[in-house]
Structure 1
Amino acid sequence: MAQPSYIIIGAGVFGTSTALHLITQFPSASVTLIDRNAPSDATRVAASWDWNKVVRADYRDPLYCKLALDAQDVWRSDPLWAPFYHQSGIYWISQSGFAGEVIENYRRLGRDTSALKELEVEVAKGEFGGLFDQADYTGVKKVLVNRSSGWADAKGALRRVAERAVELGVRFVRGEVQELLFGEGGACVGVLTKEGVRVQATHTILSTGAFTPKFLDGVATATGNDAFLAGERMLAGGVTTGLAKLDDETAKVFADMPVCIQENPPERGPDNGTLPLTADNKLKWWGQTIFRNTQTMPSGRQISAPPTPSDYDQWKVPDVLVEDVAVANKVTFGKRGEGWEIKEHRICWDVFTPSADFIISPHSAAKGLYVATAGSFHGFKFFPIIGSYVVKMLEGTLDPDLVKTWAWDRELPDESKRRIWPHTEFKDLL
């Protein structure tokens, strides 16, 4: 305990990236990564586990545009990450001036804009062989085409990076953390798992995703200190995905398909989208409905959290959410997708913040406790670099603007500005 030591709870994007960057920067450090699932497990509950995930730098916010561009550089060039990255391009249907804002961000950051185009709808329909000529363009004036964006094999990348961290010296503990351990002055000094494993460290980092508000409720109850509670800082929410397996002839037509994202009118939801084919010719969509799952905790508090089974009941998808994915197919491909049978529906859970900013910060309730989570369903693309910012936070060298943006106790935005926010209750969809 004389030297800095680290426990990371949660082996998703934030936790695994942090473990890799810590052990790379401090090879002799004690770094322990704890998760209920081993890296080799066929399925996991982490939001970062999936068949494929979008890797893009198309952001209105210059901060996330820059970070995503930096992450893309690693995805393309680093031998650890490059095998999982596919630069398919992206086709972004928006009712706003999104395309122009993205291109301007690239210019301001000194990045090449030759792969980006802001196109009139009728011109855009001819891109990528006309695959999206039957999409819903209601109210749309311009389409963003960015051939420098793409997607990554999420499951493969998460598994390999965790393996690499272990190869470099990270200790992986399979288990579920039952409680935090506190020492002199109330400082967090480690964890105790439900399996009875006690691990101590000078730094304990919560990268617990959608489970975070529920976990902190348990900590607050055990300690009698409500300062641990997530409160309005974050909210667990879910979205539905689905897969359709294409026949060999149809798969040939879609072989060079890009990612497609469609920003929806407010009454339909934030957005929906589809990703290119997996290795076994499966096409993936996500729906436009984001929902919370409010439960009564043993403490009596009402908190949104994933379903209680260990697998979050992620494969039990209500009919209305099956239809939600079908809508994503219809507004993207029109009649072209009518014959596709969408199967393998999955509910993916993540934790949102009101501003959709990450939380990478010391927890104000206890020395030695830190938070690195809140992907808000856009965190995966930062996988190669996000851990480096967690390390900077732990060292106290994080840029002051990022300290403010990602702080635990930051000022929350007005509720009226929370467009991408889980308003619907899951129970109302059953």
Structure 2
Amino acid sequence: MSDQDTEPSVLIVGTGIFGTSTAYHLAKSYANPSRITVIDRTPSPPEPAASTDINKIIRADYSSPFYCDLAHEALHAWATWPELKPFYHQTGWINLGEKGSDLPERIRKVFRDRGHDPTKDVPLEDVEKNWNGIMKGTDLKGFQDAYWNPEAGWCDASAGTASMMEAAQKYGVNYVTGCVAELCLSDGRVRCVRTTSGEECGADMIVLATGAWTSSILSPIEDQLGIAEEDRVERQAQAAGVAVAHYKMSAAEMDQLSEMPVVVYGEEGEVIPPPASNRLLKYTNSNTFTNTITTESGHRISVPPTRDQHVVSERLKRETRAAMSSRVMPTFTHGKEEEYWRLCWDAFTPTQNWLLSRHPSSSLSNLYLAIGGSFHSYKFLPISGKYMANVLSGKGNGAEKDEAWQWKKGNDGRRGAHEKTKPHRELCDLEHDVATSPANL
């Protein structure tokens, strides 16, 4: 019997960073990549979502040595892989440190301990002078210092994700378009995924790479199996959102912004340089929120609202404008109408570690999860699937990685990889002027 006959078939639900990367790495290792199928609600390349935004930050600046090492692995791929190199821009970043925050120093200590620290101090009085004066007028009250890292940058996220998925399909991966309606069980396994159109897709292994939508997909199955509250997937990851504003730049403004780095405005948010293709300067308000609903069975789960994600409440707009138009790079945004708004959703885990794991329930023995981006994981597009492929093969990734990415029994007390984005607010409290999503599934 050939390897092609013994390779388990794999169905990956979702084509974000984890789904796309897993399909890519499995395809490279399989003798018969046609045994791998991905399914997404939109055709390839998928429509904009957390993993297919106009741009994302690429950096290794972590207070966690674990993720700093992973990020350096990913940065090498961004700089050298033909599938990704055209979409990567090493512009550097400027990180403003708030008074009383030890985060910048913890990040720089990780670099020093690794034996390579590319960062340099930037006196606050010099911030407005550098990079063609693009930060003139930026409100620096409340900040104690700043540092510059020339090795950071950003990427065209939509194009990068599409390029890796295209490569996976060229290897032989099947792409199915469909919206998942339910998981169908049989004899301790997920027999298939059924779409809203009634199509059934099955495989030996099912991988949910469904990000912020994971609880809504698994909740009916958890009800059916009588899984206890503390063992449900909601305890592993919540759906969390951020508000993102986009400002159209003129040709003259693009010239002035030609040397722009990524700007990290402390814990409040970040500005990413505008791509030449659309000239959109993007500001992300880092003050996150959840959207908690009650299911028919009485369980409380977090899900993205069902409406168009470009609908943003006036309250969230005012909050975001207060930072961007008045405090961060006001030369380019003050008094300017936003081109468009968007809510961006991700799966947020208690420690901001990924969840790359088989489901622990014996009734779901072939179900795996690859989620937990926690608003910091796009940069790992080239490598996250390599580690998920090892989970699927049973090889594992070594003690440290397996422990970090396993199904967890509560928080181990360690500091998170991206703590500042932990949600403390509910979307319904931020949008009294917008009709909220239904209270029940």
- TM-score normalized with structure 1 length: 0.91
Aligned mates of 1:219, 1:166 — CA distance in 2: 31
Partners of 1:385 and 1:200 in 2: CA distance: 26
* 1:348 and 2:349 matched: no
The equivalent position to 1:104 in structure 2, one of 94, 104, 109, is 109
The residue number in structure 2 matching 1:210 is: 212
Bigger shift: residues 122-131 or 391-400: 122-131
Aligned residue in 1 for 2:426:
425
| Equivalent AA in structure 2 for residue 210 of structure 1 | A
For residue 397 of structure 1, report the CA deviation from its aligned partner: 2.4
Residue number among 314, 322, 328 corresponding to 2:309 in the alignment: 314
Quote the Cα distance in structure 2 between the aligned partners of 1:247 and 1:34. 39
Which residue pairs with 2:7 in the alignment?
3
Distance change in 2, residues 1:350/1:301 (3 Å): same
Match of 1:267 in 2: none
Residue range with higher mean Cα deviation, 2-11 or 192-201: 192-201
CA separation in 2, counterparts of 1:416 and 1:376?
A: 14
- Contact (CA 8 Å) 1:100, 1:118: kept in 2 or not? no
Tell me, yes or no, if structure 1 residue 291 matches structure 2 residue 296.
Answer: no
SS of the equivalent of 1:290 reads strand
Tell me if the contact between 1:240 and 1:346 (Cα under 8 Å) persists in the aligned partners: yes
- Post-superposition Cα deviations, 1:2-39, rounded to whole Å, max 9, x if no partner, equal 53121111110110000000001114141110110112
The aligned residue for residue 197 of structure 1 is: 199
Greater displacement, 46-55 / 130-139: 130-139
Residue in 1 that maps onto 2:265:
262
The alpha carbon displacement at 1:170 in A equals 0.6
Residue 80 of structure 1 aligns to a residue whose secondary structure is coil
Q: What number of residue pairs does the alignment pair up? A: 416
Deviations 1:390-416 (A, max 9, x none): 112222321111111111124315699
- Aligned equivalent of 1:364, options 319, 339, 360: 360
Gaps of 5+ in 2: 432-441
SS at match of 1:403: helix
Indicate if the aligned counterparts of 1:14 and 1:207 stay in contact, CA closer than 8 A: yes
Query: Which whole-Å CA distance do the structure 2 matches of 1:167 and 1:336 have between them?
Result: 42
In structure 1, C-alpha distance between the alignment counterparts of 2:85 and 2:415, rounded to whole Å: 40
Offset from partner CA, 1:194-252 (integer Å, 9 cap, x none): 22222222211111000011111121123344476213221111101111112222221
- The whole-number CA distance in structure 1 between the counterparts of 2:162 and 2:255 is 29
Residues of 1 paired with 2:208 and 2:60: CA distance?
Answer: 26
Q: Encode CA deviations 1:40-90: one digit per residue, 9 max, x unaligned.
A: 35x33x311211111111111111111111101110111110011111111
1:415 & 1:138 partners in 2: Cα distance? 31
1:39 alignment partner in structure 2? 44
Q: How does 1:159-308 map to 2 (within 5 A)?
A: 159-184=162-187, 186-226=188-228, 229-264=232-267, 271-279=268-276, 280-308=278-306
Residue pair 1:354, 1:413 contacting (<8 A) in 2 also: no
> In structure 2, do the counterparts of structure 1 residues 188 and 249 end up closer, same or farther at CA, with 3 Å as the change threshold?
same
SS of residue in 1 equivalent to 2:22: helix
For the residue of structure 1 that corresponds to 2:148, the secondary structure is: strand
Task: Report sequence identity in percent.
Answer: 32
Residue number in structure 2 paired with 1:400: 399
Contact 2:180 2:195 in 1 (8 A): yes
Aligned CA distance change for structure 1 residues 25 and 410 (closer, same or farther; 3 Å): farther
Matched, 1:120 2:120: no
RMSD: 2.2
- TM-score scaled to structure 2, two decimals? 0.89
Task: State how far apart, in whole Å, the 2-side matches of 1:292 and 1:134 are.
Answer: 33
Alpha-carbon distance between aligned partners in 2 of 1:259 and 1:410, rounded to the nearest angstrom:
37
Q: How far does the alpha carbon of each residue in 1:261-311 deviate from its partner, in whole angstroms, 9 at most, with x for none?
A: 1123xxxxxx311110122322111113211111122322221111124xx
Cα displacement (A) at 1:120: 2.7
Q: Secondary structure at the match of 1:342?
A: coil
C-alpha change, 1:255 and 1:151, in structure 2 (3 Å) is same
Give, as a single letter, the amino acid of the residue that structure 1 aligns with 2:42: N
SS in 1 for 2:110: helix
Q: Is the 8 A contact 1:404 1:410 kept in 2?
A: no
Gaps of 5+ in 1: 265-270
User: CA, structure 1 residues 295+20, in 2 after alignment: closer, same or farther (shift >3 Å)?
Assistant: same
CA distance in 1, matches of 2:197, 2:6: 27
Q: Is the 8 A contact 1:392 1:398 kept in 2?
A: yes
Q: Work out the CA distance in 1 between the residues paired with 2:108 and 2:415.
A: 28
Alignment of 1:149-164 (within 5 A): 149-164=152-167
2: CA distance, partners of 1:401 / 1:13: 22
Q: Distance in 2 between matches of 1:57 and 1:260?
A: 15
Cα distance in 1 between the residues matched to 2:315 and 2:336: 18
Deviation at 1:377, TM superposition (A): 0.8
8 Å contact 1:237–1:291 — kept in the other structure? yes
Range with greater deviation from structure 2 (371-380 or 416-425): 416-425
Contact 2:396 2:402 in 1 (8 A): no
